[in-house]
Structure 1
Amino acid sequence: MDLALGLRTHAPHLDRLWSDSRLAELGLVDGQCLSDLCARPASAELDDGALLTTVACELWLRSLEHE
Structure 2
Amino acid sequence: MNAHVHQPHIDQLVWRRSSYSSEEGGECVEVATRPTRVHVRDSKDTARAALTVEPTAWAAFVEFAAL
Q: Using structure 2 for the length normalisation, give the TM-score.
A: 0.32
* Structure with more helix by fraction: 1
Which structure carries more strand by proportion?
Answer: 2
